[in-house]
């Protein structure tokens, strides 16, 4: 039986606010609970009380601004064996931030007892009492910490069951988030990190979609500047931290912008570190933060082992070995892209999934693909327009369309049938979850009075302005300069045209396009040599890229392929005129090489053959645009930049903070594209001409065409012969075609971006030494070149990184690709391809003049319209593509446009803040300039009767399918 212990005469019973101890770590909490103690457990000085040879050590602490609050006897000496007194003050979680004085009073009483014993055993006692006092005054400041957590669909508030109940209890006890404040400065005496100031945050309030947690810290005045916060989530579910604000510090409030998922300690016991918004180069990092900076990078790199878990934030590399699904069906086995000379490619994010059973080179597919946790879409983007919606369309809309259209190979019988897609629409069969399609694609799926779902397309702006826009040759030519793919048109610099492919395999290299043919078309303007010298002849050249795959693609049912060349002439009014199309088939099935030219004609047969040839070229251009101009050059090429940035640049690094908004959501959209768009049997393979060889062709294009140094807009224009350097011209370039809307607007945006990057970089890197000695920066650029784009690591054209100007050029190229380049080739997809005859994605039949039999030729002569419609995509292909392009062209409500909102870290520095404001001003000026240009009817490539104004590079946009707006990043 436990017996109560009697107090020693020297002991007093204290009631003081002793911190609640959580777990076994001995951490203290700001949730103060009263604890009874026989010894006051205060820190600092010690008091010794000696009874003969016995010592009692304890300490006392008085919290007061009055240093004289001691009790004493009337004669000024302490009464009794010892005398100590304390003046206490209460602590509250709602204390006002600001300086507070802590007075520590140490009273030392020495009692000396002298005992004298006489012969008759009489005891004489003398007691000598000596009392000394020492008063030490310490100062601290009360700091309020406020943590804002955003409510999420999948986060901790969605947690039901037992763990939710436990989490609610933790909230009530004020034990939701355990925090450590970390000083940016080391202890000057020891040279080591200062002791952390800790506390639990308790739930304070909730407003709309945010919950606020608060805590109070007592921070010593010599703590110095707060450099970081360690935080632990005591809940069983992750939560999304928006930001942390520390108010009451001597130098004013400190903001830590988080915008990050905080894992549960039950998933990972390691605490998360969040640094303040102040940026530091590695060499300038405060000593007390160096260890945390390095350790965080080690965490983000991972160890390259095992399958990644959804809550992790590990960034690592892998090849594209996850496109196929051979374990499901052997016909879905696909070549590994990347890591070989035959099929070079940028790297993707490693997931660590196991290999397939039937193909040990291919990674198994799963219901979801890992991306580092903070790369995930925001809740708004997830629930409105995103690649997740595309995935849903493919898994709900497409099966519904397949049910509605019994024959998947059935084409459109008449052009009026195509028009009906925008009028009557397609009745969809009942679904188990009624209305699910209306939720996923509300712009397209409508409910009619009978309760049925109808897929009814919105007419694109091009069709609204001119129903027959797609039929006109001048519009066909104009769109090479101001359409969806303005990156392919090139200047003809050599004549005659020749192939660089092996003639022993692919046949004679000479083009079928002759001098006589061209000069007949441009008679009265120039000879062929004059046209080339005066930069009047331009080409779309898909000959050598596609010709090696013609035989393979033609083995796939329902598609065909040619190598193609299309020539254009620059007229005196600055517009392009199509001259000739050449289609080529290599030697195949014992037949020799076949090639034929098609020209605009003045007889019925020639006119229809020209239209069919044009449909093939448009299918080639659509495939190249989607696979190379869009997917490869923006999405794929950028992913290694993102991985390297997170692995090698600390979040404190100014270059990380410059790049971060340009990388948001790209890794998730890429992962979802590998799940549903570019995968085996995905939408690209089933609806574009190259079929299952699409990604192989994309890889070949990467090997032959992609160069980092030529991804900058000025360099790209020069490479294609569309501009030459001219220091006296605007932007330092003279355009070959003065009215080139993409280039005209793009160069203004490029200049604005470059000036912003120049101002930013120059602020942090004042000389070349800082660039050369920045270990994080050098490791970042080395990893991009040798790992992320490792298949091209030995190329001589990679830029050096030795000077601030080198860095400016590299960064400007990257952010141009993620912003201007991507916007120009993505957000006009529904505008220009929403009426699919304008940009068919696939040509399903050969031209009727290639090895024709009598029946094919007869049908063509009797009903050429049917021949063209049969060449177009099938009903299921066309409607699927149109539905997907509608989603991909959509701006979500939370779209982040360049120049619209300043990053918190940029706002911390007045120099950067001023530079950003100038950048924003240039973008607003660009908006006005584009409007003025579109109103100028002298610029015939961007204005005119029935012409859609060129707005793809206008910086800002409202939500929806608008055909304008330049977001920071590749987020769709």
Query: What are the pLDDT digits (tens) for 320-336?
Result: 999 999 999 999 999 99
Residues 909, 907: Cα–Cα separation, whole Å: 5
Q: Band of the pLDDT at 58, cuts 50, 70, 90?
A: very low
pLDDT for the residue 77: 42
Could you report the per-residue pLDDT of 867-900, keeping only the tens digit for each?
A: 999 999 999 999 989 988 988 898 888 889 999 9
pLDDT for the residue 400: 72
- Count the helices and strands in the chain (H runs, E runs): 32, 27
Residues 242, 261: Cα–Cα separation, whole Å: 9
Q: How many CB atoms lie within 10 A of CB 5?
A: 8
**174: exposed, middle or buried (Cβ count in 10 Å: 0-12, 13-18, 19+):** buried
Cβ 686 vs Cβ 877: under 8 Å: yes
**Confidence check: pLDDT of 911 > 50:** yes
**Confidence check: pLDDT of 925 > 60:** yes
pLDDT for the residue 56: 35
Instruction: Tally the C-alpha atoms within 13 A of residue 536's C-alpha that lie toward its C-beta.
Output: 21
Active-site residue (options: 518, 612, 842, 972): 972
pLDDT for the residue 408: 80
Residues 388, 672: Cα–Cα separation, whole Å: 7
Angle between helices 864-871 and 604-624 (to 10 degrees): 10
* H or E element at residue 221: none
Could you report the per-residue pLDDT of 768-794, keeping only the tens digit for each?
A: 999 999 999 999 999 999 999 999 999
CA 105 to chain centre: 57
DSSP 451: S
Could you report the per-residue pLDDT of 829-839, keeping only the tens digit for each?
A: 999 999 999 99
Residue 821: active-site member: no
DSSP 618: H
**Confidence check: pLDDT of 654 > 70:** yes
pLDDT for the residue 12: 40
Residue 395: active-site member: no
- Rounded-to-5 percentages of helix, strand, coil across the chain: 35, 20, 40
pLDDT for the residue 433: 53
Phi, psi of 124 (to 5 degrees): -110, 120
Written as six digits, the tokens of 577 are 């005129």
Q: Which residue has tokens 């696979």?
A: 627
Of the ranges 200-204, 507-511, 595-599, 821-825, which one carries the lowest mean pLDDT score? Answer: 200-204
Percent above pLDDT 90 for the chain: 71
Of residues 793 and 90, more confidence is placed in 793
Of the ranges 99-103, 226-230, 282-286, 491-495, which one carries the lowest mean pLDDT score? Answer: 99-103
Could you report the per-residue pLDDT of 425-468, keeping only the tens digit for each?
A: 888 776 555 555 566 566 777 655 555 678 889 999 999 999 99
What is the mean predicted confidence (pLDDT) over 152-179?
A: 58
pLDDT for the residue 118: 57
pLDDT for the residue 111: 60
Of residues 549 and 377, more confidence is placed in 549
Could you report the per-residue pLDDT of 109-163, keeping only the tens digit for each?
A: 666 665 555 555 555 656 666 666 666 666 889 999 999 998 875 544 444 444 4
Active-site residue (options: 202, 543, 635, 821): 635
Phi, psi of 274 (to 5 degrees): -125, 125
**Confidence check: pLDDT of 82 > 70:** no
Cβ 148 vs Cβ 241: under 8 Å: yes
Instruction: Return the SS3 of 861.
Output: helix
Q: Which residues contact 562 (CB under 8 A, 6 or more apart)?
A: 546, 547, 550, 583, 584, 585, 616, 620
pLDDT for the residue 390: 61
Q: Which residues contact 312 (CB under 8 A, 6 or more apart)?
A: 268, 302, 370, 372, 373
Q: Cα 711–772–640 angle (5° rounding)?
A: 40
**Confidence check: pLDDT of 508 > 60:** yes
What is the mean predicted confidence (pLDDT) over 25-51?
A: 38
Phi, psi of 117 (to 5 degrees): -115, 125
What is the mean predicted confidence (pLDDT) over 689-699?
A: 97
**What is each CA distance from 231 to 176, 413, 905, in whole angstroms?**
10, 64, 20
Look at residues 500, 479, 387 and name the one whose alpha carbon lies nearest to residue 741.
Answer: 479
Residues 473, 813: Cα–Cα separation, whole Å: 34
- For β-strands 239-247 and 317-318, DSSP reports them as unpaired
DSSP 342: S
Cβ 281 vs Cβ 770: under 8 Å: yes
pLDDT for the residue 123: 56
Bridge partner list, 139 = 101
pLDDT for the residue 65: 36
Strands (E), 379-503: 426-428, 445-447, 453-455, 490-491
What is the mean predicted confidence (pLDDT) over 615-631?
A: 98
Cα distance between the two ends of the chain: 71
Active-site residue (options: 202, 235, 822, 891): 822
Percent above pLDDT 70 for the chain: 79
Instruction: Return the SS3 of 285.
Output: coil
Cβ 401 vs Cβ 455: under 8 Å: yes
pLDDT for the residue 883: 87
Residues 218, 143: Cα–Cα separation, whole Å: 6
pLDDT for the residue 139: 82
Residues 296, 182: Cα–Cα separation, whole Å: 15
Instruction: Tally the C-alpha atoms within 13 A of residue 103's C-alpha that lie toward its C-beta.
Output: 19
Find the DSSP H helices in 65-214: 162-172
**Confidence check: pLDDT of 76 > 50:** no
pLDDT for the residue 533: 96
**Confidence check: pLDDT of 172 > 60:** no
Q: Which residue has tokens 């085996």?
A: 680
What is the dihedral angle through the alpha carbons of 58, 63, 64, 67, rounded to the nearest 10 degrees? 20
Cβ 626 vs Cβ 806: under 8 Å: no
Residues 181, 199: Cα–Cα separation, whole Å: 9
Strands (E), 464-605: 490-491, 537-542, 563-570, 576-585, 594-598
pLDDT for the residue 444: 72
What is the mean predicted confidence (pLDDT) over 572-581?
A: 97
Find the DSSP H helices in 243-386: 287-301, 379-383
Residue 826: active-site member: yes
Could you report the per-residue pLDDT of 407-430, keeping only the tens digit for each?
A: 788 999 999 999 999 998 888 776
Average pLDDT, the chain: 85
Cβ 434 vs Cβ 921: under 8 Å: no
**Confidence check: pLDDT of 44 > 60:** no
pLDDT for the residue 129: 66
Of residues 108 and 766, more confidence is placed in 766
Angle between helices 666-676 and 637-648 (to 10 degrees): 140
What is the mean predicted confidence (pLDDT) over 856-867?
A: 96
pLDDT for the residue 307: 96
3-class DSSP string for 886-931: HHHCEECCCCCECCCCCCHHHHCCHHHHHHHHHHHHHHHHHHHHHH
Q: Which residues contact 647 (CB under 8 A, 6 or more apart)?
A: 297, 300, 301, 315, 316, 780, 783
Q: How many CB atoms lie within 10 A of CB 353?
A: 17
Active-site residue (options: 744, 826, 890, 934): 826
What is the mean predicted confidence (pLDDT) over 668-679?
A: 92
**Confidence check: pLDDT of 363 > 60:** yes
DSSP 773: T
Residues 808, 374: Cα–Cα separation, whole Å: 27
Bridge partner list, 262 = 239
**Confidence check: pLDDT of 9 > 50:** no
**What is each CA distance from 389 to 381, 669, 735, 877, in whole angstroms?**
10, 11, 40, 18
**Confidence check: pLDDT of 914 > 90:** yes
Phi, psi of 201 (to 5 degrees): -95, 140
**554: exposed, middle or buried (Cβ count in 10 Å: 0-12, 13-18, 19+):** middle
Residues 584, 596: Cα–Cα separation, whole Å: 7
Highest mean pLDDT among 518-527, 636-645, 874-883, 892-901: 636-645
Cβ 934 vs Cβ 859: under 8 Å: no
Active-site residue (options: 616, 630, 660, 821): 630
Of residues 799 and 44, more confidence is placed in 799
């Amino acid at each position: 039986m436990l017996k109560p212990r009697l107090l020693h005469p020297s002991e007093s019973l204290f009631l003081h606010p002793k911190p609640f101890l959580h777990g076994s770590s001995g951490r203290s909490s700001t949730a103060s609970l009263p604890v009874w103690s026989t010894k006051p457990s205060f820190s600092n000085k010690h008091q010794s009380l000696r009874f003969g040879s016995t010592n009692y050590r304890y300490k006392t602490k008085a919290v007061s601004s009055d240093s004289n609050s001691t009790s004493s006897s009337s004669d000024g000496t302490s009464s009794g064996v010892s005398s100590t007194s304390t003046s206490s003050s209460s602590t509250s979680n709602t204390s006002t931030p600001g300086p507070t004085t802590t007075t520590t009073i140490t009273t030392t009483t020495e009692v000396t007892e002298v005992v004298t014993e006489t012969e008759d055993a009489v005891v004489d006692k003398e007691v000598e009492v000596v009392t000394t006092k020492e008063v030490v005054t310490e100062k601290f400041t009360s700091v309020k910490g406020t943590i804002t957590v955003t409510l999420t669909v999948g986060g901790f508030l969605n947690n039901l069951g037992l763990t939710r109940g436990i989490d609610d209890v933790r909230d009530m006890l004020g034990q939701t988030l355990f925090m450590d404040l970390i000083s940016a400065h080391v202890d000057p005496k020891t040279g080591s990190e200062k002791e952390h100031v800790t506390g639990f945050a308790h739930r304070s309030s909730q407003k709309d979609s945010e919950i606020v947690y608060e805590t109070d810290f007592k921070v010593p005045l010599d703590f110095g500047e707060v450099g970081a916060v360690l935080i632990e989530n005591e809940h069983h579910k992750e939560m999304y931290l928006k930001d942390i604000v520390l108010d009451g510090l001597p130098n004013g409030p400190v903001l830590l912008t988080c915008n990050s998922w905080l894992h549960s300690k039950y998933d990972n016991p390691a605490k998360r570190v969040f640094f303040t918004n102040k940026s530091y180069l590695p060499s300038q990092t405060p000593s007390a933060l160096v260890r945390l900076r390095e350790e965080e990078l080690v965490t983000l790199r991972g160890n390259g082992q095992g399958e990644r878990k959804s809550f992790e934030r590990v960034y690592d590399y892998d090849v594209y070995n996850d496109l196929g699904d051979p374990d499901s069906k052997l016909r879905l086995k696909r070549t590994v892209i990347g890591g070989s000379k035959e099929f070079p490619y940028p790297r993707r994010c490693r997931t660590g999934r196991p290999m397939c059973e039937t193909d040990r080179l291919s990674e198994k597919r799963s219901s979801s693909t890992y991306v580092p946790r903070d790369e995930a879409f925001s809740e708004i983007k997830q629930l409105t327009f995103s690649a997740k919606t595309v995935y849903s369309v493919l898994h709900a809309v497409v099966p519904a369309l397949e049910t509605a259209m019994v024959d998947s190979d059935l084409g459109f019988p008449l052009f009026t049938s195509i028009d009906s897609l925008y009028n009557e629409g397609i009745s969809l069969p009942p679904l188990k979850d009624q209305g699910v399609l209306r939720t996923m694609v509300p712009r397209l799926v409508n409910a009619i009075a009978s309760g049925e779902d109808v897929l009814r397309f919105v007419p694109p702006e091009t069709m609204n302005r001119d129903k027959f826009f797609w039929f006109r040759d001048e519009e066909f030519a104009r769109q090479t300069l101001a359409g969806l793919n303005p990156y392919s048109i090139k200047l003809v610099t050599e004549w005659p045209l020749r192939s660089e492919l092996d003639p022993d395999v692919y046949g004679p290299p000479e083009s079928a396009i002759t001098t006589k043919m061209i000069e007949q078309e441009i008679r009265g303007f120039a000879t062929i040599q004059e046209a080339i010298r005066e930069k009047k002849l331009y080409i779309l050249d898909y000959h050598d890229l596609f010709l090696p795959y013609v035989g393979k693609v033609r083995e796939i049912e329902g598609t065909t392929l040619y190598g193609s060349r299309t020539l254009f002439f620059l007229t005196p009014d600055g517009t392009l005129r199509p001259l000739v199309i050449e289609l080529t088939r290599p030697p195949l099935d014992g037949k020799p090489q076949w090639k034929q030219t098609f020209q605009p004609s003045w007889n019925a047969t020639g006119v229809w053959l020209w239209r069919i040839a044009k449909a093939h070229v448009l299918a080639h251009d659509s495939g190249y645009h989607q696979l190379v101009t869009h997917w490869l050059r923006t999405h794929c090429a950028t992913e290694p930049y993102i991985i390297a940035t997170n692995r090698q640049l600390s979040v404190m690094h100014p270059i990380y903070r410059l790049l971060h908004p340009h990388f948001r959501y790209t890794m998730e959209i890429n992962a979802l594209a590998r799940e549903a768009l570019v995968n085996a049997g995905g939408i690209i393979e089933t609806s574009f001409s190259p079929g299952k060889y699409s990604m192989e062709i994309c890889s070949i294009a990467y090997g032959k065409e992609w160069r980092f140094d030529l991804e900058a807009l000025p360099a790209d224009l020069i490479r294609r012969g569309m501009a030459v350097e001219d220091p006296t011209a605007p932007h330092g370039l003279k355009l070959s075609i003065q009215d080139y809307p993409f280039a005209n607007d793009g160069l203004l945006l490029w200049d604005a971006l470059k000036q912003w990057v120049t101002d930013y970089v120059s602020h942090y890197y004042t000389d070349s030494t800082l660039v050369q000695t920045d270990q994080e920066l050098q490791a970042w650029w080395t990893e991009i070149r040798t790992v992320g784009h490792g298949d091209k690591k030995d190329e001589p054209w990679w830029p050096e990184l030795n000077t601030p100007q080198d860095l400016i050029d590299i960064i400007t190229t990257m952010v141009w690709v993620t912003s201007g380049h991507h916007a120009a080739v993505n957000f006009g997809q529904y505008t220009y391809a929403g009426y699919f005859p304008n940009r068919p994605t696939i040509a399903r039949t050969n031209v009727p003049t290639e090895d024709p039999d009598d029946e094919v030729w007869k049908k063509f002569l009797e009903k050429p319209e049917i021949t063209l419609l049969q060449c177009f995509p099938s009903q299921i292909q066309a409607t699927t593509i149109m539905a997907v392009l509608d989603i991909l062209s959509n701006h979500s409500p939370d779209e982040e446009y360049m120049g619209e909102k300043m990053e918190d870290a940029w706002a911390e520095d007045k120099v950067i803040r001023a530079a950003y404001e100038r950048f924003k001003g240039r973008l607003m000026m660009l908006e006005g300039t584009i409007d003025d240009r579109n109103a100028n009817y002298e610029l015939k490539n961007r204005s005119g009767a029935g012409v859609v104004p060129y707005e793809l590079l206008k910086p800002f946009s409202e939500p929806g399918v608008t055909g304008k707006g330049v977001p920071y990043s590749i987020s769709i």
